[in-house]
Amino acid sequence: METIREARLAQNQAIRDQDLDAIARVLEPDVHVTSGIGIHIVGRDAYRRAYEDDFEVLENVVYARMPDEIEISAVDTGLSERIAAESGTWTGSFVTPRGPTQMRGVYSAMWRKRSGQWRINSEIFVSLACSGAGCP
């Protein structure tokens, strides 16, 4: 569980640092992500491009995912791998050309451990609040 928590915190830092390779490093190649406003992203490369686009258009992009619970599954997947569930809250802030924006919500992630490495298989984010100039 601690390895997953550390990987998540490292990804948060990578977002702050705008380090696209480090952001994507923790993702499965075929990751499925639903953003807080319902945009569906399939694949590590598409996820990386979404952040690249944000960094080009927005300033001071910070997304932080704070795990409340991480549980390793006791279910045998039959695939010589482990799975885990992570859930928590997230916050986001950035500056658009119109001004600053703050968002928050909840998320859930499924992790897979393959070849000794935990990676995100899927995530779903739900936006619960938004304030500022860049709100949808």
| pLDDT given at position 123 | 98
Decide: residue 132, CB within 10 A, 0-12 exposed, 13-18 middle, 19+ buried: middle
Using CA atoms, how far apart are residues 71 and 87, in angstroms rounded to an integer?
9
Residue ranges of domains in the chain: 2-132
pLDDT category at 76 given cuts 50, 70, 90 is confident
CATH of domain 2-132: 3.10.450.50
Average pLDDT, the chain: 95
Residue 44, helix vs strand vs coil: helix
Q: What digits encode the pLDDT tens for the residues 80-103?
A: 789 999 999 999 999 999 999 999
